[in-house]
Amino acid sequence: QPRLDDDRLPVVLIILDGLGDRPIPELAGATPAEAARTPVLDAIVASGASGWHLPFGWGRAASSERANWALFGYADTPFPGRAVLE
């Protein structure tokens, strides 16, 4: 058991960066994510919490690096480039 000095719970954040894709005719019109068997990911989702992250509001798609930058709490800080995330 983790020893906590407060009432916060440990968190595992899984970022499925790049998961979005287009339907593929060879997959009966499904996207790769829809066609994939994902029992481990399904179990994690069923036992945890999931949600949307919209750092720039509805309808404003950001690049993956800018979205990750915002996810880490730096949405209002100028983005220094992807290398800082890798």
Enumerate the domain spans of the chain.
25-85
Tell me the C-alpha distance between 79 and 14, whole Å. Answer: 22
Instruction: Say if residue 3's pLDDT is above 80.
Output: no
pTM above 0.85, yes or no: no
Q: What is the pLDDT of residues 43-70, one digit of tens each?
A: 988 887 777 777 788 888 778 888 888 8
Q: In a 3-state reduction of DSSP, which class is residue 41?
A: helix
| Residue 59 Cα distances to 22, 42, 51, angstroms | 18, 27, 16
